[in-house]
Structure 1
Amino acid sequence: MGDDELSPTSARRYEALGRVMAALATEAEFIETCRDLTWWCGADQSWHIEWRDGPYASEVAALLVEQAGEPDRSLATPVGPGGSASAVLDVMGVRFELRAIDPMGRARVRARPGFWRLAEALDTTRRTNARQPWEELLGG
Structure 2
Amino acid sequence: MGDDELSLTSARRYEAFGRVMAALSTEAEFIESCRDLTWWRGADHSWHIEWRDGPYASEVAALLAEQVRDPGFEGSLVTPAGPGGSTAAVLDVMGVRFELRAIDPLGRDRVRSTPGLWRLAEALDTSRPTNARHPWEELLGG
Deviation at 1:73, TM superposition (A): 1.9
Match of 1:131 in 2: 133
Q: Distance in 2 between matches of 1:90 and 1:44?
A: 13
Q: Is contact 1:4-1:10 (8 Å) kept?
A: no
Match of 1:34 in 2: 34
Higher deviation after alignment, 128-137 or 59-68: 128-137
Aligned residues: 138
2:52 matches 1:52: yes
Q: Deviations over 1:61-91 (max 9, x none)?
A: 0001111121432111011321111000000
- What does 1:1-140 correspond to in 2, within 5 Å? 7-71=7-71, 72-140=74-142
Q: Is contact 1:55-1:105 (8 Å) kept?
A: yes
CA RMSD of superposed structures (Å): 1.7
Compute the TM-score of the two structures, normalised by the length of structure 1: 0.91
Deviation at 1:136, TM superposition (A): 1.4
Structure 1 residues not aligned, in runs of 5+: none
Runs of 4 or more consecutive aligned structure 1 residues displaced over 6 Å after TM superposition = none
Q: Distance in 2 between matches of 1:49 and 1:128?
A: 39
Compute the TM-score of the two structures, normalised by the length of structure 2: 0.89
Structure 2 residues not aligned, in runs of 5+: none
